[in-house]
Amino acid sequence: MIINKTLEQLQNTITAGDTCIVNLTASWCSDCTEQSLNLATFSELLAEKKVDTYSLVMQEQKNVYLSVEHQQFTESLGGHGFPRTVLVINGKVVDVDNVEIISTEQLTELAKTFLLQL
């Protein structure tokens, strides 16, 4: 299951030292829309290891972040590029270079990569 949280809630989850997946998206991004159709399978694979997947919209308009805090958070998780899927282990960002991974096949491979790091 994909869990939607506010930026503040997600920051608190990471600060608390949780292990999770963070999926950063943008409303204008067609790749994000396509990925959202395939993200459930990815999330289910990680849920077997009790790892939650959180999704958060960072931009409504291209190149315009919802706030300065949204921009800073995006930069702390690897920077611009949507959709971006990030692995956080015990509150530490460990795998950020997963941009435009959209298809079920790509997401399944990413889930396997993440599971090997847990």
Distance from the first to the final alpha carbon of the chain: 19
Contacts 24+ apart (CB under 8 A), 77-80: 77/22, 77/24
Q: Give the mean pLDDT of the chain.
A: 95
Q: Percent of the chain, pLDDT > 90?
A: 95
Structural domains for the chain: 2-105 (3.40.30.10)
Task: Give the pLDDT confidence of 69-102 residue by residue, as tens digits.
Answer: 999 999 999 998 999 999 999 999 999 999 999 9
> Where do we find the tokens 């959709």?
83
Q: Which pLDDT belongs to residue 9?
A: 96
Length of the chain in terms of residues written? 118
User: Average pLDDT for residues 41-56, to the nearest whole number?
Assistant: 94
Q: Which pLDDT belongs to residue 4?
A: 87
